[in-house]
Amino acid sequence: MAAPPGTNLDPSSSSLPSAAAVATHAQRPPVDESSSVPKKRKSTEQLNYEQYVARDALQAAAFKDHTDRHISFLRQKRQEIEYYEGLRLLRQTNPGAVFGQGYSGFGNGVTNFKPGIIGPRDRQRLGRVSRELRITREDMRRQSEAGEHLAPVRLELEFDKEKLRDTFTWNIHERTVPLDVFAENLCEDYTFPLHHAPQIARAISEQLNEFHPHVFDPNLAKTVDPSLPYTAYKDDDMRVIIKLDITVGQHNLVDQFEWDINDPQNSPEEFALKLCQELSLPNEFVSAIAHSIREQTQLFTKSLLLVGHPFDGRPVEEDEIRREMCPSVTELIRPMHLLRDFTPVLYELSDAELGKADKDSERENRWKRRQGRTVGRRGGIVLPDLREPMRTFRTPIISSVLPGAIERPKLQPQPVPLDDERSEAHISYSSRRTRHNTTASQPQHYAPPAPAPPPARASPTPGVDEGRLIVRLKGPKLKKWMIANASKLGALA
């Protein structure tokens, strides 16, 4: 739409104010005539006072914060003091609750004991659970003043399909070695549980109570009836025949000799040591021979006590005992036909012979113990069997260092037969370990393993060209693969 004629459209020629002038006028505040009076400036003292008040307020706030932190720190330290006081008492009563059980390896023990000075008496034996034998000097002095009468002790016990067979001598006047401590160490030496120690101590105590020492006083010969001739008692020396049948490890010693039970100078230990030196036997035989001599002489002493023998040099009146004693010596040289019987013989037994001898010895000893009662069924006195002594069969020690011990048999791996129908051609580790433990618990003679069949063979097939060779392989996984790929193998052929 056009403007009417005579109208001026130029904005510069308009009488209206410009936009910049309108904006400047709108931003300018109205001028108050009363506020145009100049303000009074603060003095220096007033500014310093205000600054002092502000800084004093900051100092008070910082001091209050420091006091709060100091009180909190003191409260925390007081709690720590109370904690360590209780910890000190707990450490004295139960150190394990503070330090733990410790590192039990490479000679380190537990720490659950009261702190103190550890001397040689309080040391702990590595790998030992039984109590250690400790003898004071005063006890040693008293024991040295006491007499010595060695009693033979034979142990034949059975614990949970395990047998303990041992022989040794024990001083009936022993006061420094308790039987329970000895039984514990014996169980630990043979790797038996310690709860069998009371049974062993009880068996030893019963045999010590039944022991009767052989006492012969030469002065009692003067009290014999003077009407008897001199030869009636002076030449009666009570010589008996000692028979040895001792098995230690895989060696068996058989021998017999004469022994005078009235001679106090005869020492079974010295005789056994000399005999083992001459035969080059290990020290295991020394104690076994000495025990066998004392055990057989104890049977004669017990028999003489049962019949009321006075032990004054008189001859034995009981016929059953006198038959087992040797007559008076008339010749210095033994007859030739008896030399073979009085010659020591050492046998080396195999595993089969060792097992058979073990069963025979156990059966004979069981029968002799039943016949060892002193009172019969009808009230009469029953004398011990003096003709055949009990055999000695000790529990063998498994060691490759000690003389007289046996070595643990080495197991050879058995071949595993292959089955064409099975897909597993191996045996698990657990089954191999079970079979190994079962075989190791029965030490027997192991035969060499049978040779395994050859895994592969090559043979010409009848009806086929002679220049052609077919190889047949047997295997659980290979057979399945060949059946699955029969077509490919036929194409290749």
Mean pLDDT of the chain, nearest integer: 74
Q: Which of 76-85, 191-200, 325-334 has the highest mean pLDDT?
A: 76-85
The string of pLDDT tens digits covering residues 330-344 is 788 888 888 888 899
Q: Which of the pair, 243 or 406, is modelled with greater confidence?
A: 243
Q: What is the mean pLDDT of residues 66-91?
A: 93
Domain for residue 431, yes or no? no
Tokens of 396: 């063998």
Beta strand ranges found along 105-192 (DSSP E): 150-159, 162-171
Residues facing 242 on adjacent strands: 257
Q: Are 386 and 300 in contact (CB under 8 A)?
A: yes
Residue 443 clears pLDDT 60, i.e. is over it: no
Residue 377 clears pLDDT 60, i.e. is over it: no
> Is 333 found in the same domain as 282?
yes
Question: What's the CA gap between 82 and 76, in Å, rounded?
Answer: 10
Q: What is the mean pLDDT of residues 84-96?
A: 85
Distance of CA 173 to the CA centre of its chain: 32
Residue 11 clears pLDDT 80, i.e. is over it: no
Residue 324 clears pLDDT 60, i.e. is over it: yes
Question: What's the CA gap between 391 and 298, in Å, rounded?
Answer: 15
> Is 368 found in the same domain as 260?
yes
Residue 477 belongs to domain spanning:
456-492
> Is 198 found in the same domain as 155?
yes
* Distances, alpha carbon 390 to alpha carbons 41, 164, 336, 368, 463, in Å: 132, 16, 28, 7, 77
Residue 71 clears pLDDT 80, i.e. is over it: yes
Residues facing 260 on adjacent strands: 239
> Is 256 found in the same domain as 367?
yes
Q: 224: buried, middle or exposed (CB in 10 Å: 19+, 13-18, 0-12)?
A: middle
Select from 162, 183, 209 the last residue of a domain.
209
Strands 345-348 and 251-260: antiparallel
Output the pLDDT for position 219: 62
Domain for residue 119, yes or no? no
The string of pLDDT tens digits covering residues 50-59 is 999 999 999 9
| Least confidently predicted of 74-78, 88-92, 226-230, 356-360 | 226-230
Select from 165, 184, 209 the last residue of a domain.
209
What is the b/e burial string over 368-391, where b = at least 16 CB atoms within 10 angstroms of the residue's CB?
eeeeeeeeeeeeeeebbebeebbb
Output the pLDDT for position 9: 46
Output the pLDDT for position 14: 47
> Is 230 found in the same domain as 196?
no
Q: What is the mean pLDDT of residues 162-187?
A: 91
Output the pLDDT for position 257: 92
Q: Are 100 and 111 in contact (CB under 8 A)?
A: yes
> Is 197 found in the same domain as 337?
no
Domain for residue 425, yes or no? no
Q: Is 19 strand, coil or helix?
A: helix
Q: 289: buried, middle or exposed (CB in 10 Å: 19+, 13-18, 0-12)?
A: buried
> Is 484 found in the same domain as 343?
no
Residue 478 clears pLDDT 70, i.e. is over it: no
Strands 456-459 and 392-393: unpaired
Q: What is the mean pLDDT of residues 187-212?
A: 90
| Least confidently predicted of 37-51, 110-124, 288-302 | 110-124
Give this prediction's pTM.
0.56
Domain for residue 151, yes or no? yes
Output the pLDDT for position 128: 82
Question: What's the CA gap between 140 and 147, in Å, rounded?
Answer: 13
Question: What's the CA gap between 402 and 189, in Å, rounded?
Answer: 14
Residue 134 clears pLDDT 50, i.e. is over it: yes
Number of domain units in the chain: 4
Domain for residue 327, yes or no? yes
Q: Which of the pair, 279 or 397, is modelled with greater confidence?
A: 279
Residue 7 clears pLDDT 50, i.e. is over it: no
Q: What is the mean pLDDT of residues 189-195?
A: 86
Output the pLDDT for position 179: 94
> Is 262 found in the same domain as 136?
no
Q: What is the mean pLDDT of residues 445-466?
A: 46
Question: What's the CA gap between 464 and 462, in Å, rounded?
Answer: 6
Output the pLDDT for position 205: 94
Q: Binning pLDDT at 50, 70 and 90, where does residue 289 land?
A: very high
Pick from 172, 162, 231: nearest CA to 205? 172
Q: Is 171 strand, coil or helix?
A: strand
Q: Are 152 and 273 in contact (CB under 8 A)?
A: no
> Is 230 found in the same domain as 203?
no
Q: Which of 84-93, 287-296, 308-317, 420-429 has the highest mean pLDDT?
A: 287-296
Output the pLDDT for position 161: 78
Domain for residue 46, yes or no? no
> Is 222 found in the same domain as 357?
yes
| Least confidently predicted of 115-124, 316-325, 386-395, 443-452 | 443-452
> Is 357 found in the same domain as 228?
yes
Residue 383 clears pLDDT 60, i.e. is over it: yes
Domain for residue 38, yes or no? no
Domain for residue 441, yes or no? no
Residue 362 clears pLDDT 80, i.e. is over it: no
The string of pLDDT tens digits covering residues 412-434 is 444 444 444 443 433 333 443 44
Which DSSP state fits 316?
Answer: P
Q: Which of the pair, 150 or 221, is modelled with greater confidence?
A: 150
Select from 393, 408, 443 the last residue of a domain.
393
> Is 362 found in the same domain as 461?
no
Output the pLDDT for position 55: 94
Q: What is the mean pLDDT of residues 453-464?
A: 47
Output the pLDDT for position 476: 54
Question: What's the CA gap between 148 and 146, in Å, rounded?
Answer: 7
- Per-residue HEC secondary structure of 36-75 comes to CCCCCCCCHHHHHHHHHHHHHHHHHHHHHHHHHHHHHHHH
Q: Is 13 strand, coil or helix?
A: helix
Q: What is the mean pLDDT of residues 185-209?
A: 91
pLDDT above 70 as % of the chain: 61
Q: Are 298 and 207 in contact (CB under 8 A)?
A: no
Question: What's the CA gap between 78 and 202, in Å, rounded?
Answer: 61
